[in-house]
Amino acid sequence: MKQRPIGSRTVSAIGLGGMPMSIEGRPDRERSIATIHAALDAGVTLIDTADAYHEHASEVGHNESLIAEALRSYGADTSGVLVATKGGHLRPGDGSWTVNGRPEYIKAAAQASARRLGVDAIGLYQFHRPDPAVPYADSIGALRELLDEGVIEMAGISNATIAQIDEANRILDGRLVSVQNQFSPAFRSSLGELEHCARLGIAFLPWSPLGGITRAADVGARHDAFQTVADDRGASPQQIALAWELALAPIVIPIPGASRPTSIQNSVLAVDIELSRDEIAALSRDA
Ligand SMILES: NC(=O)c1ccc[n+]([C@@H]2O[C@H](COP(=O)([O-])OP(=O)(O)OC[C@H]3O[C@@H](n4cnc5c(N)ncnc54)[C@H](OP(=O)(O)O)[C@@H]3O)[C@@H](O)[C@H]2O)c1
């Protein structure tokens, strides 16, 4: 599998998004573990998760626990796998998503995530979403303390503007390693942040890179150019979407979600699709 850098680590150019295995509509535990094991078999070494990937209020960290269990039961060395989790979002259990960016909350959440993941230090910890009620600098200050105290090895942010990327990197003394924003054929308004990350050499992780759980099946139906290139190459429109994202900049690492083994097995094949300049231009025009 092709590799891409993220901070001091190198990971597979395609990661696995854990959310579909833990929120509404999730599969049973057995299929989720099989999905994570299939990703590992395919050479995936980046798994994205969050403490908020759960359904009921009583099961905070459902996805983190699932990933920890899958890594423990894999039966081979998983020390090269980077588990990237997040804090700052909450799910009260009614289907909604709320935020808490208070520094003391973020610090306690990171400690709890480390315990669930069964690690001394979290490989990559991402501040999930800015909290309008808390100055951004205060939330990022918590990440800085977590880094300095060794609770986390690397720090990232999510759902951030260009100004917030710069502010976070300044507060972290240049130690910001990743930005995770929504980006897909259907949602391109984060292109500016993607290009900013490329200039800074910071990894950019497109979330919902196929358009999201409910729209992922429709990439070809909604975007003619993706269907056309897919037909030309005997690939799927979803694989072309991932190949296009990878082609936009060498810092892009898509994290397609999956809740069945075949989904992630198909997604990783996108790393070997080398799109031509004309194909990339046509795909970039098909908004
Ligand atoms: N930072 C944030 O605020 C934020 C927000 C949302 C998501 N995320 C992260 O980003 C990850 C990805 O986003 P997402 O899961 O919302 O949406 P997505 O990756 O755009 O779509 C996920 C769906 O695509 C299907 N799929 C995956 N690979 C496929 C392929 N090769 N061909 C056809 N279908 C395929 C999967 O189906 P099956 O379920 O049938 O396998 C899955 O349900 C999440 O899992 C999560 O880790 C972060």
Confidence of residue 75 (pLDDT cuts 50, 70, 90): very high
Mean per-residue pLDDT, 117-145? 98
Q: Is the pLDDT of residue 287 over 90?
A: no
Q: Give the per-residue pLDDT at 140.
A: 98
The CB of 259 under 6 Å from ligand 1? The reply is: yes
Is the distance from CB of 111 to CB of 151 less than 8 angstroms? yes
Confidence of residue 286 (pLDDT cuts 50, 70, 90): confident
Structure pTM? 0.98
Question: Residue 25 region, left (φ>0) first, then alpha (ψ -120 to 50), else beta?
Answer: left
Q: Is the pLDDT of residue 100 over 80?
A: yes
Q: Give the per-residue pLDDT at 111.
A: 98
- The Å distance, Cα 208 to ligand 1 centre, comes to 5
Q: Is the pLDDT of residue 233 over 80?
A: yes
- The Å distance, Cα 54 to ligand 1 centre, comes to 15
Going by alpha carbons, the residue nearest to atom 48 of ligand 1 is 207
- The Å distance, Cα 49 to ligand 1 centre, comes to 11
Mean per-residue pLDDT, 240-262? 98
Q: Give the per-residue pLDDT at 19.
A: 98
The CB of 63 under 6 Å from ligand 1? The reply is: no
Share of the chain above pLDDT 70, in %: 100
Q: Give the per-residue pLDDT at 194.
A: 98
Task: For residue range 166-218, list pLDDT tens digits in order.
Answer: 999 999 999 999 999 999 999 999 999 999 999 999 999 999 999 999 999 99
Share of the chain above pLDDT 90, in %: 99
Pocket probe for ligand 1: among 16, 48, 158, 210, the residue whose CB has the most ligand atoms within 8 Å is 210
- The Å distance, Cα 254 to ligand 1 centre, comes to 10
Active-site residues: which are they? 53
